[in-house]
Structure 1
Amino acid sequence: MQFKNALYLIPLTLCFINCSTPKEVVMAKPVAPVAKFTSFKDSVSYAMGASTAKQFKGMFGKSQDSIFNLKQYENGLKEGLNDTLALSENEIRDIMGRFQAELRSLKEIQREAVEVKNKKEETDFLTLNKTKEGITATESGLQYKVLKEGSGVVPGASDKVEVHYEGRLLDGTVFDSSYKRGEPIVLGVGQVIKGWTEALQLMKVGSKYQLYIPAELAYGVSGAGEDIPPYVMLIFDVELLGIK
């Protein structure tokens, strides 16, 4: 993410204007305001502010109040538009360079805090879970429970298998489910997260296991998209339907 031009952030709203459209044509078309505003100019102005706020929240998260002063942002915007800036271009570049460094430091602190929190939750859960009846723990740290034992062949690392599954976070949030889609999937045993690769080679066709997968055997530091945060362990119900 680049912040060197953050002072001049242009709200995403402007991206909806086709740059190839002549300015006079755009301005010549009267447009009705949104009901909450008295003019379309007011509607657009508010939408641009809201769009900018969304960008800032995405960059700063919950730390925005500690590193962002709305009043001074307003001053910079007004004085920039009026060509009465209190800072020179060089000063602005220097400040934004320092800001980038501080933001990187803040992000690292936040990352470490999330890692500590999630690792503790994982350790607490797995420590208690392995004492429960029916839970098996492997040397890698994977834990599983046999919900249904099959009688078919056990797949190898190079096999492709057909499975039904549901994945959840520790709080019970379902982030993916072939059951909900109503269709199993075919995947390579050696082409999935480590916890799945290990577990599938323990299962006979027809089996259904509940897997408790530590973060290091799942998506680790990276997480996966918006649904799976970094450093989180995952719980899966996996049903091995067949080997392809």
Structure 2
Amino acid sequence: MDTNTTRALELLHLTSGYDGSEILQDVSFSLPPASVLALLGRNGAGKTTCINTIVGITRAMRGQIRLFGKPVTSLPVDGVIRSGIAVVPQGRRLFSLLSVKENLLVAQPAQPPHAGPRWSLDQIVAMFPRLGERFSQRAGTLSGGEQQMLAIGRALMASPRVLLLDEPSEGLSPQMVAEVAHIIARLREAGLAILLVEQNSRLALSVAQNAVVLSSGRIVFSGPATELAANGDLMACHLGVRASEPAD
């Protein structure tokens, strides 16, 4: 059965932008529950505008955004979060002077935001043992990989049903990039639907079941991640990756 309620996140003919300029144009795609969708494209393709529109930072000009079948297009940012969407922003944006534990607790809602599963502090520590070892350490003193774990953990404290990951591998070593891939796979196995915005197409296509490629604000590919990975011409044209080289 293919109904709206079987789609964790759905964008329908979404157009948005800034100051009257249409950056994202007639974009439609859906994200099933417990799956990963890679949102790819060159710099300026519209990926960040898409993320910002989903969470309510940028207002949609036309179209709809649905979360498990319910419209969230007109909700303010806090309403979107309470509905069950959380974002791990590019650059992490942690509270550098607060401890690891304080960064996690500040994101915990006072009341249950929705009827979905909850994430507790203990579950976060079980997912990221290194954070538990550094509970009292200031976030600004963590390594880049540890900061990324904390940023993901902080988002999970809001108990989202859909997680938006914006460039999670940025600035990380190859070893930590592999760890991020492992974390994404574990989160999907835990039932989260994940929209992954990532310049590292090798990482994205290794963990995603489906992919969408944006170019100048429009979709130029939407389909299985394996199909995109095998399409050397499209990868070269819209992602700048030649068929003969690794996709990263």
- TM-score above 0.5: no
TM (norm. structure 2) is: 0.22
Flag the structure with higher strand content. 2
Greater share of helix: 1
Larger Rg: 1
